[in-house]
């Protein structure tokens, strides 16, 4: 579904006042996500997770390397076209507070190129899946945190994409809200879709992911199934594995 | 660009903006409720004050050594007719200071003549009015005496006092009077209301969107940057136009109210105003509103797009709105005429044009020039906006337009190139210094003044760079470079000059006056002799203007934008700096070529050489037209035919190609002529 090769992203960081340092936030990362699997990206703060996912979602252009997706056997590499087939959600993708959830979905549907009746059907369906009925016509700024989260998901699934990219979707949510998202990802996986997501929470990753990619300082430190990762890290506890891998990496840098 | 996408984005933005209380208050409440209310209330208060003033009687004391004079006056005149009331007081001076009386008269005899001194306090309104009444009374008293004297001499007083008869007849039609009244307030009102109307939506759709984090959501959707920008621009422009039109409607409403009030009180105003006569003028005014909406929404968005937060955007927009209001005041200055040059001056051109339209002065060419230049500036700003939305470092970065010049110097770390915010400030300060200081010293010292203006253009960026402790060599590109680059620079500029002649003559076909303008400009540059002119016109700008545009400005821009974008913006700024629309294309083109060579050679000196060759050539033609004409006839001939033009194009491109070939030649190969 998703195939990214040798992605590099160079930033120029403004140090205090005048000095500028050029560094690679993402440094030569290649990865694949297939239909019907959930891939987790794990890394400490500043490891380059968000930058990586932004490039995969075509929000940013890579300095070098390329992102391709395959839909019905056809290869797509144009950024705007790629966005059509992705549902992208992150802590930074906030919603228009002065619009209602329904207006938001209709707007997104229009931009994804759906027809009016298509949008109408899909809004009804999404509203049922996410249980939006009580607040679908309220202004988003008036909603509770959990409702806002559901509105956020509704926005990125309105076009029924085959690939989801979620950047720390459960960060800062209570257990009920984060469970809703976890359940949603599992359901979509069962429906044969591809999910790529980044997280801080080891337990969540262990429970959800078919494969895990650990990155640190813009590079892949380890990748594989949960069991393979545990083997590489030399521990049965994913939290310890993460500590070992990231630390050992830091040692030889 | 997909129009369907623009439509849905437009709908979304409009809904979002219209549901924002601040925008609605600024757009609807202020023009429809606040202005009329303020005007009507202040009018009523004024008329109330005037009536009480006229109905009031003022107290007056009279001081005289001869008390008979006082009783004489009181007996002969009814003081109440003059709204005066006589009071007796022993110490009139004290009474006046204590406001017990409004005014007092001191009568004395001097050489047998009665002398009246009126004492009043000008800072007290009542005392002022009282003095007025007293003066009226005394003037009647004086003419009564004159009359008596004349009659005693056996003359007809009326005939002697009024030997001729004078009366004024206003030949202005009611429409012209109404137009001139409207033109004194409408232009300023329109400019300010458009500015106010666009300000909040501009902030809201750019910085506000980024602050609320919805920008990233927008970027996950399959829309292109141009679709996003166009839709945002359309929304800001629409809101601006709506608020301007609401302002006009409410202004006209207030005008009708005032007119009807005036005609009930004053029977002198007779006959109605024929609205039909205003229709052509109003149509052009509406066109002006549209053109200015394009300009002002693009400019405000361009400024606010650099900001990360609402507050930051507010900080950027405040100086901009001050500049805009200041420029629109030009419409208030009588005798400032809308010339072709003034037509290119943003904001002022719109106020002047609206003023002229309402005074029924039409000049189709100037109208077109004003509308066109506004739209053109607007599109340039939109283009920059597009670059901003293409720049990830601005969209996702920390802060885009840093301003360091107001920071304490000891907190600044040395090194680097100027920030964008500082550059904008430096450009603005330079333009103001050029117009005000430069203009003044050029009037006074003429040629030396031109030199002084150039020193300002050099001094301001150099000071800014030194103050913010920038890497001086890097900012101004003071680097040695290979001799081959100088050769390339010479080839490039000669090619560019030849192509410039082609552009100028093509523009000359459409705007014949442009040739005169170029000629006038060259004439005005002529100094005492060849060498002094060469120094002022060719050598000085080759240093000063290069430091500014190919040094400071280009360095700051290339730090934030891609090289091509940076060079194009720098070139356009260079074109604008020359303040002439007809020469804009040529100067911007020459500017781009210089930017390119300086960027490639990494040295300001190539730019200086090019600038010197270009300007020096003009000076040479100015002083030795025959000599130049003999060697290169095309440079001096007045009219060029198609063969000449083709020849120039071919030779020009050939030279530029050669120059570029030398620039691009691999190092150490034969291209190195050093």
Query: Residue A25: which of A166, A196, A216, A198 has the closest Cα?
Result: A216
Looking at residue B672, its pLDDT comes to 41
Alpha carbon of A6: minimum distance to chain B alpha carbons (Å)? 20
Contact A60 B221 (CB under 8 A): no
Contacts of B220 in chain A (CB under 8 A): 57, 59, 83, 86, 88, 93, 156
* pLDDT classification of B505: cutoffs 50, 70, 90: confident
Contact A96 B12 (CB under 8 A): yes
A interface with B, Cβ–Cβ below 8 Å = 11-12, 14, 16-20, 54, 57, 59-61, 80-81, 83-84, 86, 88, 90, 92-99, 103, 107-108, 110-113, 139, 155-156
Pick from B4, B5, B214: which is nearest to A96 by CB?
Answer: B214
* pLDDT classification of A17: cutoffs 50, 70, 90: very low
A75 and A13 in one domain? yes
Best interface-test mutation with A: which of B220, B409, B469 has the largest number of A CBs within 10 A?
B220
The rounded distance, in Å, linking the Cα atoms of A22 and A12 is: 4
Contact A103 B469 (CB under 8 A): no
Contacts of A84 in chain B (CB under 8 A): 222
Best interface-test mutation with B: which of A62, A81, A83, A93 has the largest number of B CBs within 10 A?
A93
Residue A239, domain member (yes or no)? yes
Query: Residue B359: which of B134, B184, B201, B488 has the closest Cα?
Result: B184
- Left (φ > 0), alpha (ψ -120 to 50) or beta: where does A224 sit? left
Provide the CB-side half-sphere exposure for B611 (13 A, CA): 28
- Left (φ > 0), alpha (ψ -120 to 50) or beta: where does A234 sit? left
How many structural domains does chain A have? 2
* pLDDT classification of B397: cutoffs 50, 70, 90: low
When mean pLDDT is compared over B134-143, B622-631, B634-643, the highest value belongs to B134-143
More confident residue, B68 or A211: A211
Whether B80 shows a pLDDT value over 60: the answer reads yes
Best interface-test mutation with B: which of A14, A111, A151, A154 has the largest number of B CBs within 10 A?
A111
Query: Residue B327: which of B295, B351, B294, B292 has the closest Cα?
Result: B351
For residue A170, the enclosing domain spans: 2-85+163-252
A70 and A114 in one domain? no
Whether A19 shows a pLDDT value over 70: the answer reads no
CB B325 within 8 A of CB B348: no
Whether A118 shows a pLDDT value over 60: the answer reads yes
Task: Give mean pLDDT, residues B612-632.
Answer: 83
Task: Give mean pLDDT, residues B392-405.
Answer: 64
Looking at residue B670, its pLDDT comes to 44
Q: What angle do CA B338, B343, B348 make, to 5 degrees?
A: 80
* pLDDT classification of A122: cutoffs 50, 70, 90: very high
Three-class DSSP category at B674: coil
A152 and A117 in one domain? yes
Contact B216 A98 (CB under 8 A): no
Residue A32, domain member (yes or no)? yes
Whether A253 shows a pLDDT value over 50: the answer reads no
* Nearest residue in A to B218, CA atom: A93
Question: Taking all residues of chain A, what is their mean pLDDT, rounded to a whole number?
Answer: 85
Contact A92 B216 (CB under 8 A): yes
Question: Taking all residues of chain B, what is their mean pLDDT, rounded to a whole number?
Answer: 84
Contact A111 B223 (CB under 8 A): yes
Looking at residue B515, its pLDDT comes to 64
Identify how many contiguous H helices and E strands chain A contains and give both numbers: 9, 10
Whether B268 shows a pLDDT value over 70: the answer reads no
Best interface-test mutation with A: which of B221, B392, B417, B419 has the largest number of A CBs within 10 A?
B221
Alpha carbon of A204: minimum distance to chain B alpha carbons (Å)? 25
Task: Give mean pLDDT, residues B447-459.
Answer: 87
- State what percent of residues in chain B have pLDDT above 90: 18
The rounded distance, in Å, linking the Cα atoms of A147 and A37 is: 27
Whether B303 shows a pLDDT value over 60: the answer reads yes
The rounded distance, in Å, linking the Cα atoms of B411 and B590 is: 39
Looking at residue A14, its pLDDT comes to 59
pLDDT in tens, B305-341: 888 888 888 888 888 888 888 888 877 777 778 877 7
- Left (φ > 0), alpha (ψ -120 to 50) or beta: where does B86 sit? beta
* pLDDT classification of B642: cutoffs 50, 70, 90: confident
Contacts of B11 in chain A (CB under 8 A): 107
* pLDDT classification of B671: cutoffs 50, 70, 90: very low
Contacts of A95 in chain B (CB under 8 A): 214, 217
Three-class DSSP category at A27: strand
Contact B398 A14 (CB under 8 A): yes
Contacts with A100 (C-beta within 8 Å, 6 or more apart), sequence order? A136, A137, A138, A139, A140
* pLDDT classification of B669: cutoffs 50, 70, 90: very low
Task: Give mean pLDDT, residues B567-573.
Answer: 91
| B1 interfaces chain A, CB cutoff of 8 Å | no
CB B355 within 8 A of CB B188: no
Contact A110 B223 (CB under 8 A): no
Looking at residue B554, its pLDDT comes to 92
Residue A90, domain member (yes or no)? no
For domain B54-161, the CATH class is alpha beta
More confident residue, A15 or B572: B572
Whether A100 shows a pLDDT value over 90: the answer reads yes
Domain boundary among A133, A160, A187: A160
* pLDDT classification of B496: cutoffs 50, 70, 90: very high
Return the number of other C-beta atoms located less than 10 Å from residue B79's C-beta: 17
pLDDT in tens, B336-375: 788 777 787 888 888 888 888 888 877 888 889 899 999 9
Contacts of A92 in chain B (CB under 8 A): 213, 216
At B97, which helix (H) or strand (E)? helix B92-97
A224 and A167 in one domain? yes
More confident residue, B185 or A209: A209
Task: Give mean pLDDT, residues A6-23.
Answer: 70
Pick from A16, A90, A98: which is nearest to B19 by CB?
Answer: A98
Contacts of B8 in chain A (CB under 8 A): 107, 110-111
The rounded distance, in Å, linking the Cα atoms of A89 and A56 is: 12
| Count of pairs with CB atoms under 8 A, one residue in A, one in B | 88
Contacts of B19 in chain A (CB under 8 A): 98-99, 139
Alpha carbon of A61: minimum distance to chain B alpha carbons (Å)? 8
A105 and A74 in one domain? no
Pick from B8, B15, B404: which is nearest to A99 by CB?
Answer: B15
The rounded distance, in Å, linking the Cα atoms of A231 and A250 is: 19
Looking at residue B673, its pLDDT comes to 41
Contact B413 A99 (CB under 8 A): no
CATH number for position A12: 3.40.50.300
Looking at residue A137, its pLDDT comes to 92
Contact B220 A156 (CB under 8 A): yes
Alpha carbon of A142: minimum distance to chain B alpha carbons (Å)? 14
More confident residue, A174 or A127: A127
| Order of strands, sheet of A74-76, starting from the edge strand that comes earlier in the sequence | A20-33, A2-14, A64-71, A74-76
A248 and A173 in one domain? yes
Looking at residue B514, its pLDDT comes to 63
A169 and A48 in one domain? yes
Contacts of A20 in chain B (CB under 8 A): 416
Alpha carbon of A162: minimum distance to chain B alpha carbons (Å)? 15
Residue A12, domain member (yes or no)? yes
More confident residue, B462 or B631: B462
Whether A108 shows a pLDDT value over 50: the answer reads yes
* pLDDT classification of B269: cutoffs 50, 70, 90: low
Contacts of A48 in chain B (CB under 8 A): none
Best interface-test mutation with B: which of A92, A102, A116, A163 has the largest number of B CBs within 10 A?
A92
pLDDT in tens, A36-64: 999 999 888 888 888 899 999 888 889 89
A205 and A153 in one domain? no
Three-class DSSP category at B226: helix
Contact A98 B12 (CB under 8 A): no
Residue with tokens 């206003």: B170
- Residue spans per domain, chain B: 3-41+177-395, 54-161, 477-664
Contact B8 A107 (CB under 8 A): yes
More confident residue, B542 or B440: B542
A111 and A76 in one domain? no
Return the number of other C-beta atoms located less than 10 Å from residue B512's C-beta: 9
Measure Cα distances from B506 to A76, A246, B368, B494 in Å.
Answer: 46, 67, 19, 19
Contact B213 A88 (CB under 8 A): no
A114 and A81 in one domain? no
CB B592 within 8 A of CB B568: yes
A168 and A144 in one domain? no
Whether A243 shows a pLDDT value over 60: the answer reads yes
Whether A252 shows a pLDDT value over 60: the answer reads no
Phi (first) and psi of residue B145, to 5 degrees? -65, -45
Alpha carbon of B382: minimum distance to chain A alpha carbons (Å)? 21
pLDDT in tens, A178-230: 887 888 889 889 999 999 989 888 888 888 899 999 898 888 888 888 888 88
* Nearest residue in B to A110, CA atom: B8
DSSP lists the bridge partners of residue A39 as A196, A211
| B411 interfaces chain A, CB cutoff of 8 Å | yes
A81 and A169 in one domain? yes
The rounded distance, in Å, linking the Cα atoms of A114 and A120 is: 10
Contact B219 A90 (CB under 8 A): no
Task: Give mean pLDDT, residues B82-104.
Answer: 87
Please tell me the least confidently modeled range out of A165-174, A231-240, B548-557, B665-674.
Answer: B665-674
The rounded distance, in Å, linking the Cα atoms of B142 and B380 is: 70
Task: Give mean pLDDT, residues B232-254.
Answer: 87
Q: What angle do CA B199, B200, B203 make, to 5 degrees?
A: 90
Pick from B217, B396, B398: which is nearest to A93 by CB?
Answer: B217
Contact B221 A108 (CB under 8 A): yes
Longest dimension (CA), chain B: 116
Window 5-64 of B: residues touching A by CB (8 A cutoff) are 5, 8-9, 11-12, 15-16, 19-20
| B80 interfaces chain A, CB cutoff of 8 Å | no
Contacts of B415 in chain A (CB under 8 A): 18-19
Contacts of A80 in chain B (CB under 8 A): 222-224
């Amino acid at each position: 579904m998703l195939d990214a090769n040798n992605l590099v992203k160079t930033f120029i960081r403004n140090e205090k006042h005048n000095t500028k340092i050029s560094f690679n936030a993402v440094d030569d990362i290649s990865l694949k996500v297939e239909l019907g699997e959930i891939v987790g990206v794990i890394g400490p703060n500043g490891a380059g997770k968000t930058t990586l996912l932004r490039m995969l979602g075509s929000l940013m252009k890579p300095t070098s390397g390329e992102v391709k997706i395959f839909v019905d056997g056809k290869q797509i590499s144009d950024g705007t076209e790629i966005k059509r087939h992705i549902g992208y959600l992150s802590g930074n993708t906030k919603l228009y507070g002065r619009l209602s959830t329904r207006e938001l979905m209709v707007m997104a549907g229009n931009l994804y190129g759906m027809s009016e009746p298509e949008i109408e059907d899909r809004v009804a369906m999404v509203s049922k899946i996410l249980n939006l009925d009580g607040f679908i016509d309220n202004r988003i700024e008036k909603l509770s945190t959990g409702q806002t989260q559901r509105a956020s998901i509704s926005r990125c699934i309105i076009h029924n994409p085959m690939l989801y990219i979620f950047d720390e979707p459960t960060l800062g949510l209570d257990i009920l809200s984060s469970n809703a998202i976890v359940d949603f990802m599992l359901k979509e996986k069962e429906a044969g879709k591809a999910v790529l997501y980044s997280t801080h929470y080891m337990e969540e990753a262990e429970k959800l992911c078919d494969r895990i990619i650990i990155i640190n300082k813009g590079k892949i430190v380890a990748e594989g199934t949960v069991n393979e990762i545990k083997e590489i890290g030399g521990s049965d506890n994913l939290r310890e594995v993460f500590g070992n891998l990231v630390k050992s990496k830091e040692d030889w840098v | 660009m997909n129009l369907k996408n623009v439509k849905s984005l437009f709908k979304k933005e409009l809904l979002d903006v219209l549901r924002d209380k601040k925008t609605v208050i600024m757009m609807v409440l202020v023009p429809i409720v606040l202005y009329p209310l303020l005007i009507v209330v202040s009018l009523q208060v004024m008329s109330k004050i005037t009536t009480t003033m006229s109905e009031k009687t003022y107290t007056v004391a009279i001081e005289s050594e001869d008390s008979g004079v006082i009783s004489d006056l009181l007996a002969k005149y009814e003081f109440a007719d003059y709204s005066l009331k006589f009071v007796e007081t022993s110490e009139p001076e004290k009474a006046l200071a204590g406001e017990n009386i409004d005014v007092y008269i001191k009568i004395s005899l001097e050489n047998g003549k009665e002398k009246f001194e009126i004492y009043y306090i000008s800072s007290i309104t009542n005392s002022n009015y009282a003095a007025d009444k007293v003066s009226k009374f005394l003037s009647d008293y004086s003419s009564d005496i004159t009359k008596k004297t004349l009659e005693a001499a056996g003359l007809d007083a009326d005939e002697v006092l009024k030997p001729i008869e004078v009366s004024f007849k206003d030949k202005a039609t009611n429409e012209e009077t109404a137009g001139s009244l409207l033109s004194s307030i409408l232009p300023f009102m329109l400019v300010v209301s458009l500015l106010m109307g666009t300000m909040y939506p501009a902030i809201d759709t750019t910085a506000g969107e980024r602050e609320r984090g919805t920008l990233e959501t927008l970027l996950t959707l399959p829309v292109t940057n141009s679709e996003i920008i166009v839709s945002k621009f359309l929304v800001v422009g629409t809101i601006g136009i709506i608020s301007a039109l609401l302002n006009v409607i409410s202004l006209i409403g207030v005008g009708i109210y005032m007119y009807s009030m005036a005609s009930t009180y004053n029977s002198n105003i007779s006959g109605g105003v024929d609205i039909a006569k205003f229709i052509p003028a109003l149509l052009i005014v509406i066109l002006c509103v549209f053109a200015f909406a394009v300009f002002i929404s693009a400019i405000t968005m361009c400024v606010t797009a650099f900001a990360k937060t609402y507050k930051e955007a507010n900080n950027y927009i405040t100086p901009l709105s001050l500049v805009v209001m200041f420029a629109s005041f030009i419409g208030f200055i009588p005798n400032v005429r809308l010339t072709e040059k003034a037509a290119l001056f943003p904001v002022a051109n719109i106020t002047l044009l609206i003023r002229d339209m309402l005074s029924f002065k039409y000049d189709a060419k100037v109208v077109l020039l004003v509308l066109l230049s506004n739209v053109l500036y607007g599109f340039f700003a939109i283009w920059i906006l597009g670059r901003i939305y293409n720049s990830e470092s601005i969209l996702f970065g920390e802060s885009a337009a840093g301003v360091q010049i107001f920071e304490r110097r000891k907190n600044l770390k040395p090194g680097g190139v100027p920030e964008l915010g500082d550059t904008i400030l430096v450009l603005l300060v330079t333009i103001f210094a050029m117009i005000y200081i430069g203009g003044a010293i050029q009037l006074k010292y003429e040629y030396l003044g031109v030199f002084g203006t150039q020193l300002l253009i050099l001094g301001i960026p150099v000071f800014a760079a030194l103050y913010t402790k920038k890497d001086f060599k890097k900012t101004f590109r003071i680097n040695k470079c290979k001799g081959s680059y100088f050769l390339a620079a010479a080839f490039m500029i000669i090619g560019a000059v030849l192509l410039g002649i082609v552009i100028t003559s093509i523009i000359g076909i459409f705007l014949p006056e442009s040739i005169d303008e170029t000629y006038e400009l060259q004439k005005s540059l002529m100094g005492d002799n060849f060498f002094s002119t060469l120094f002022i016109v060719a050598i000085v700008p080759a240093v000063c203007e290069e430091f500014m545009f190919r040094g400071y400005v280009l360095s700051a821009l290339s730090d934030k934008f891609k090289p091509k974008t940076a060079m194009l913006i720098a070139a356009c700024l260079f074109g604008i700096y020359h303040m002439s629309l007809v020469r804009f294309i040529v100067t911007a083109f020459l500017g781009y070529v210089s930017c390119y060579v300086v960027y490639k050679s990494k040295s300001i000196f190539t730019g200086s050489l090019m600038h010197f060759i270009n300007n020096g050539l003009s000076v040479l033609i100015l002083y030795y037209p025959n000599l130049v004409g003999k060697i290169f006839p095309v440079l001096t001939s007045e009219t060029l035919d198609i063969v000449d033009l083709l020849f120039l194009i071919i030779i020009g491109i050939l030279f530029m190609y050669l120059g570029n070939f030398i620039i691009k030649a691999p190092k150490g190969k034969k291209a190195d002529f050093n």
